[in-house]
Chains A and B, each alone.
Chain A
């Protein structure tokens, strides 16, 4: 019933000088996946995607509203027409493309395992530091083998309904115990408590966390994972019948990337340029 929890505390971007005929676009975000989208201490939605949404809406000359929606109901509620677009760090995957459409990608960040500094896996590195699962070379295949043997018999935590869970099921499902969490924050708590041996999430999530106080006992290990189940970057999720909106978003994203806005926002929020050129 998370669908009903769609919060009405929406932020309206009042765009100055906007004609009354401007297209109304409702954008949903999770509000619990820093630094992509989260809430500040006053409870306002902030983050990379909130800033980017503002820029894209100005470019599309649209009248945008950002609403909050729990992650596990974010696609069903889109289809039920509660809002028109999803900007919630959602990777473009084949599986999701069967259900909804995506704009072009606006950001891409690798996935990475994180363990406690006291863990035996704390120094773990693979031969190949980057593994692109789209086309796996021999060296990358060997590195995937190293990954499997490192975490064999261990418990790995992951947020439910993510590409990271799909990766674990596909590549480590037989060798590790997978524990799923409804929010990334709950997973962090259990990693700290030692109930899971490792956690898998996007580096965009880990980078700011590891720098802060919350991540002082944690360390990112293993390869940078991209492609395959991780999809082709993060894009705006839109109902399949709204082809016009897909086009509007893709055009605005291309403009925004060309203007350097996406890079600037990525560096501000992630600490590295995650824009897709």
Chain B
């Protein structure tokens, strides 16, 4: 291991972290709303909606993200005249736009299935009860279906967030210099892939460590009944020996 090289390279890799975070955050943000729409279409009783949603999910889940990014970026370049004529070339010209577009479409496909699972897990009794007190369809969705569905979907969605943070590395194939792109660039000048990828890997670990903590605290907030007995991760580390006592007390 060349420690000197690692020491020299980490600031350049750190400078690429905002690019990775921007790609992940913007595609997750846009993708969430798209996913919500798709999942509602998917559970809709109108066949044209549910079929469209089914096809969308099928298309983006069944092809590799690398292929999608590549096709959207280099594919749009092949049809420049067409995109110019409809005035969209200014967007498709930018690698940023193409990366966020493909990441958004991809996460929307996966997340919509996660949300659909959540929606369909809402106990029918609760919906029936809401109808019985005369809630409108919208109010029912806002007050009953959506909160329960999100609670159910959160662990699965947390998984999706982590996957997306890692998926941003594919943006390096379309000239964007996020963490992996910068790592490849440094490697090409130093021919030391091990050292550089170790640092890049550590950055992804740190980012995803923070992400998992945020999701976990959200889970605790939304479903406190499941975590009533749980100590914070820090407490569980420091007071490891006393945990069994707490569990027994709950059962009593």
Contact = CB atoms under 8 A, between A and B. Distances in A.
A144 B66 CA distance: 39
Contacts of B193: 3, 73, 76
Contacts, number: 47
Nearest to B94: A195
B80 interface: yes
B78 A179 contact: no
Interface string A51-77: 000000000000000000000110110
B234 to A, nearest CB: 36
A95 B80 CA distance: 39
Interface residues of A, number: 22
10 contacts: A75-B191, A160-B185, A165-B188, A182-B173, A186-B74, A189-B74, A192-B77, A193-B78, A193-B93, A195-B93
B184 A182 contact: yes
A231 B108 CA distance: 49
Contact of B191 (A99, A165, A179): A99
A189 B191 CA distance: 27
Contact of A190 (B74, B173, B185, B192): B74
Given A72-B184, A180-B175, A194 B93 contact: yes
Given A76-B191, A193-B80, A160 B184 contact: yes
Given A76-B193, A179-B175, A189-B78, 14 more contacts: A3-B193, A72-B188, A75-B191, A160-B185, A182-B184, A186-B74, A189-B74, A190-B175, A192-B78, A193-B74, A194-B77, A195-B77, A195-B93, A195-B95
A161 interface: yes
B188 A161 contact: yes
Contacts of A33: none
Contacts of B80: 193-194
A99 B78 CA distance: 39
Contacts of A182: 173, 184
Interface residues of B, number: 17
Interface in B70-84: 74, 76-78, 80
B206 interface: no
A72 B74 contact: no
A181 interface: yes
B175 A72 contact: no
Interface in A163-215: 165, 179-182, 186, 189-190, 192-195
Contacts of B210: none
Contacts of A194: 77, 80, 93
B226 interface: no
A186 B173 CA distance: 9
A165 B77 CA distance: 23
Contacts of A76: 187, 191-193
Contacts of A179: 175
Contacts of A75: 191
A207 to B, nearest CB: 24
B77 A193 contact: yes
B188 A160 contact: yes
A72 B93 contact: no
A176 to B, nearest CB: 14
B189 interface: yes
B65 to A, nearest CB: 16
B77 A190 contact: yes
Contacts of B184: 72, 160, 182
Interface in B166-215: 173, 175, 184-185, 187-189, 191-193
Closest 3 CB pairs of A and B: A193-B77, A161-B188, A75-B191
B175 to A, nearest CB: 5
